[in-house]
Structure 1
Amino acid sequence: MSDMQVKSVGIDSPTSWRTKLTHLGPGLILAAASVGAGDMITSISGAATYGMGLLWVAALGLLVKFGITEAVGRHYIASGATIVAGARTVAVWLPYLLFGFFLVVAVVFGAGLSSVAALALSTLVPSIPVVPASIAISVLAAAIVLRGRYSALEATMKWFIALKFGLMVVLAGITLVQLEDWGAFFGSMRPAFPSGSLIDVIALIGGVGGTAGIAAYSYWVREKQWNSPNWLPMMRLDAATSYLIIFVFVVATTIVGTGLVYGTGRSVKGTDGLAALADPLGADLGSATRILFLVTFFVVVFAALIGGFNGLSYLLADSLRTIRRVPLDAVESYVSEKSWVFRSFVLLCLLSSVAIVFTGRPVALVLVYAAIGSLVLPILSACLLVMLNRRDIAPNLRNGLASNAVLTTALVLFVVLAAVQIVESF
């Protein structure tokens, strides 16, 4: 038995589609946590040059990340082990490495996202000071996570999913209604290859969907008590729904970007540029649309901040538990939203975000987060290739040809991407 196994509690998996839809949860949290300012920047920046021509890259990236997420969930169902506990069976030093990665990400993550969210508020209402707003946003996000119940988090994130994706679809609809050059719009749908560079394609693949959030998926699956093979179809539906929602968001964002900046010479560089896009957007589509865009931007980033605080605290708490080899009967004292260890890491995320905001360089530190975060996916892919091909995994839960192909592709792609991001950041 793995040191992170749990016993089945006898909950039957749903059989009807209606019941299955009501059970969706971990994937919705993943979608809310994974889609942030970076996805909006990537989509709109790509649309500025290529219009709708890069959607194939987004689709490919999300398909690869679905393969990793499905494997993370399947590994938990097959072994009862979370991803960090499983990583220790691959190499005893891996939990130490992962703890270091997650700790760095946790320290810089909150400051970057809260500052970006505050920037959107300040752009919307110039009288709002960015630093106090950033601190207030971090405190509110941490308070939501510290409520200490997974069911409450899931319910909150479902509302954010409906809000952030609904608003983005509305923005796309407004853009299409007021579109003047339909010929250029449809012409941009021809699949394009960014700058003729394979590296650019790999960067775009890595730029959609999550990184550390994918690793946290097993903790949300654990909270749902999907801990037996009969839950496998439900978990796969949950993960697939997550990436379908993210793809709809990317399509909507790309439509907005194509309608506003394609062929105009405008560019969107960094989070400042994205917020600044609100002004020409208002000039083109009206002040109400400008407000809608900034509200959408804020909601997208704030939801990602909540999901990040929760997921990173799980990953850090479990990494510490695994390093200290805490026995099975004491697991809940670490890997639980009510444990003091989990809550301590939430407070660490909060306090570090507040401290870094006062340095005046929180958004720049997002580059550090991106570089370190990019290292998680190749490690995750490599571990899953080892863990899910073992003989002690039930045959129906082991990797098949397709899973091995996706994980191997992900390993190669994200090793290259990690190398590029580290070089560019440092």
Structure 2
Amino acid sequence: MGAGDMVTSLAGAAGYGMALLWAILIGVVLKYALTEAVGRLYLATGLTVIASLRSAARWLPYAFFGFVLVIGLLYGAALSSVASLALSTLFPALPVRPLALVIALASAGIVYVGRYSLFERVMSGFMLAKFVGMVVLAVVTLVTMDDPSGLVSSLRPRLPEGDVITVLALVGGVGGTAGVASYSYWVREKRWRHASWLPVMRADTAMSYTVTFLFVVCTSIVGTGLLYGSGRTITGNDGLAALAEPLGADLGSAARVLFLGTFFLVTLSALVGGFNALCYLLADSLRTLRGVPDDEAERHMGQRSRPFRLFVLYCAATSVAVTFAGKPVPLLLTYAAVGSLVLPLLSGALLVLLNRRGLQPPYRNKTLSNVLLSGSFVLFGVLAVVQLKETLGGL
């Protein structure tokens, strides 16, 4: 869960109240299907996601390496800037740009330490704090609403006329991108192996996306209570931080502090988790392209390996450079376009890899998995086309 989940759910709530929860639910189900398939592929083959993609098409590791390299170029600067905006709104004396540099370097430092157990504990702490924070905000919003019937009446599902792209973006905006592709590395770190771990892996994934859905429901409640029918809207990450002012006016200063603190933790956790995911993908892509065998994988892509740590330094250095450069628009457009291509490629590859006849029955796709992965391929493919058109228009 990151700033994107909060932005898209608040934007949807501003325009349509709770009426688009069905779109969020579809997004969560599709991301669950993708993540479960990534974990199942690893349990079936013992191969990481990039090594498996090479067996589907030899050019895929090259594509992923290029895509993730571009994403890593701007990921740290974008998220650290958003996190620093929330923190500087809480403490106006803090300068935004230097604070963004500190946040990016501190996040990279957590990943660089190179112990998965530490990474997992840090992420668990972030998860608990931001989830509890958003639940409390949702409860306070419900209790203090002048007319809760408006929220209830907005629950009726609807498909906005002439605004299908917004709905598709809401479906695609929940549940992460790099984290989905990197799930096999975290399964590997947990030392889950073979079919006996399938129920555990599925329960882990189901719990993750259940919590994600509940988090976004709470965010939608806050957005509906404060924005729906008010004429105010959320147009981006700056707008999200600016919501703190009307929130404080409506619910009190404690709610304002809680909102900004939760927003900061959401973005910070996405930054730490994203750095870890990106560096795994980059190190594994490089290993696969160099033809390093799987029995030497730990030395070439593990969290203590030199390539992994070099890519952490790459993410940290580019965060500093891009923050000082002021994030030029063409680079941001390129980043968005490249990121949009990851999920349709991953969905298509998983459809091929998990329907092979040589795969044992417990691991092979069933009808429901094929339907969900095909839906992911089509949906995220459409979103990629839309994003590419916007990118070409912006350039």
Q: Same fold (TM over 0.5)?
A: yes
State the Cα distance separating 1:367 from its structure 2 match: 4.6
Deviation of 1:142 (Å): 0.7
Q: How far 1:121 sits from its partner (Å)?
A: 1.0
Q: How has the CA–CA distance of structure 1 residues 367 and 304 changed in structure 2, closer, same or farther, with 3 Å as cutoff?
A: farther
1:341 counterpart residue number:
307
Amino acid at match of 2:274: G
Does residue 298 (structure 1) correspond to residue 258 (structure 2)? The answer is no
- 2:367: which partner in 1? 401
Match of residue 156, structure 1, among 102, 107, 122: 122
CA contact (8 A) 1:115 1:362 kept: no
Aligned residues: 392
Name 1:132's counterpart in structure 2. Answer: 98
Unaligned 5+ runs, structure 1:
1-34
Aligned to 2:172: 206
Distance 2:227 2:166 in 1: 20
Q: Paired residue for 1:385?
A: 351
Q: Per-residue deviation at 1:229?
A: 0.7
C-alpha separation between the residues in 1 aligned to 2:25 and 2:262?
Answer: 22
Separation (CA, whole Å) in 1 of partners of 2:238 and 2:266: 15
- Whether 2:4 is the aligned partner of 1:38: answer yes
User: CA offsets, 1:45-95, max 9 Å, x none?
Assistant: 110110011111000111011011110000000011111101100111110
CA deviation vs aligned residue, 1:372-423 (integer Å, no higher than 9, x gap)? 1111111101111111111221112100111111111111111100010121
Give the alignment's Cα RMSD to 1 decimal.
Answer: 1.3
Kindly indicate whether residue 73 of structure 2 is the aligned counterpart of residue 107 of structure 1. yes
C-alpha distance in 2, partners of 1:257/1:198? 20
Q: Paired residue for 2:57? A: 91
Kindly provide the amino acid, as one letter, of the partner of residue 182 in structure 1: P
Return the alpha-carbon distance in structure 2 between the equivalents of residues 256 and 337 of structure 1.
Answer: 38
Q: Is the 8 A contact 2:2 2:176 kept in 1?
A: no
Cα deviation for residue 232 of structure 1 reads 0.2
- Cα distance in 1 for residues equivalent to 2:160 and 2:332: 24
Structure 2 unaligned spans of 5+: none
Q: Distance in 1 between matches of 2:90 and 2:222?
A: 19
Contact 2:38 2:183 in 1 (8 A): yes
Is 1:59 aligned to 2:41, yes or no? no
Cα deviation for residue 181 of structure 1 reads 1.2
Q: Which amino acid aligns with 1:293?
A: F
Counting aligned pairs with the same residue, the percent is 57
Shift of 1:197: 3.7
The structure 1 residue matched to 2:208, chosen from 223, 234, 242, is 242
Structure-2 residue corresponding to 1:10: none
- Give the TM-score normalised by structure 1: 0.90
Structure 1: distance between partners of 2:79 and 2:273: 11
Partner of 2:86: 120
1:358 and 2:328 aligned: no
* AA in 2 matched with 1:272: D
Given candidates 239, 242, 248, the residue that maps to 1:282 is 248
The AA in structure 1 aligned to 2:390 is E
The CA distance in 1 between the partners of 2:276 and 2:296, in whole Å, is: 20
Extract structure 1 runs of 4+ deviating beyond 4 A: 362-367
The amino acid across from 1:253 in the alignment is: T
Residues 247-286 of structure 1 aligned to structure 2 (within 5 Å): 247-286=213-252
How far does residue 264 in structure 1 lie from its aligned partner after superposition? 0.3
Change (3 A) 1:82 1:236: same
1:420 is aligned with what amino acid? V
CA apart distance, 1:366: 5.0
Q: Deviations over 1:86-120 (max 9, x none)?
A: 11001111101110000000111000000000011
What amino acid sits opposite 2:13 in the alignment?
Answer: A
* 1:48 alignment partner, SS class: helix
329-338 or 71-80, larger mean C-alpha shift: 329-338
The more displaced of 358-367 and 249-258 is 358-367
2:47–2:294 CA contact under 8 A, matched in 1 = no
Q: CA deviation at 1:200?
A: 2.7
Q: Deviations over 1:137-184 (max 9, x none)?
A: 011101111121111111111111100111011111111110111121
Give, as a single letter, the amino acid of the residue that structure 2 aligns with 1:204: L
When residues 274 and 364 of structure 1 are mapped into structure 2, their CA distance, relative to the original with a 3 A threshold, is farther
The separation in 2 between residues aligned to 1:76 and 1:178, in whole angstroms, is 48
SS of match in other structure, 1:194 = coil
Partner Cα distance (1:291, 1:369) in 2: 31
Q: What's the CA shift for 1:359?
A: 1.2
Distance 1:363 1:301, change over 3 A: farther
Asked if the contact 1:115/1:363 (under 8 Å) is kept, the reply is no
Asked if the contact 1:112–1:364 (Cα under 8 Å) also holds between the matched residues in 2, the reply is no
- Given that residues 111 and 362 in structure 1 are in contact (C-alpha distance below 8 angstroms), is that contact kept between their aligned partners in structure 2? no
SS where residue 240 of structure 1 aligns?
helix
| Pair 1:195–1:111, CA change in 2 (3 A) | farther
| Letter of the 2:291 counterpart | R
How far apart are the structure 2 equivalents of 1:343 and 1:296? Answer: 29
